[in-house]
Amino acid sequence: MSCPICARDTDPKYKPFCSRRCADIDLGKWLNGSYAIPAAITAQDEDDDVPDQTLPLQ
């Protein structure tokens, strides 16, 4: 198996990466939103943005 970041052989200590550096690069991509699954907005998603008006305000 090769490292998904740099394609070098993996190190068992950092598997599936070859080093801590590549593991940190991958984590950074997750944290800044580089890895995202595109999805279409549905009517249900749009309804979720509107607050429920039937609940009493306190």
Task: Write down the pTM of the prediction.
Answer: 0.61
DSSP letters, 11-36, are -TTTTTSSSHHHHHHHHHHHHTT-S-
Q: How far apart are CA 44 and CA 32, in angstroms?
A: 26
pLDDT digits (tens, 9 = 90+) for 10-19: 999 999 999 9
Tens of pLDDT, residues 10-54 = 999 999 999 999 999 999 999 998 988 888 777 776 655 555 556
Tell me: is residue 6 an annotated ligand-binding position: yes
Residue 25's CB is within 10 A of a number of other CB atoms, namely 15
Q: Judge whether 15 and 2 are in contact, CB under 8 Å.
A: no
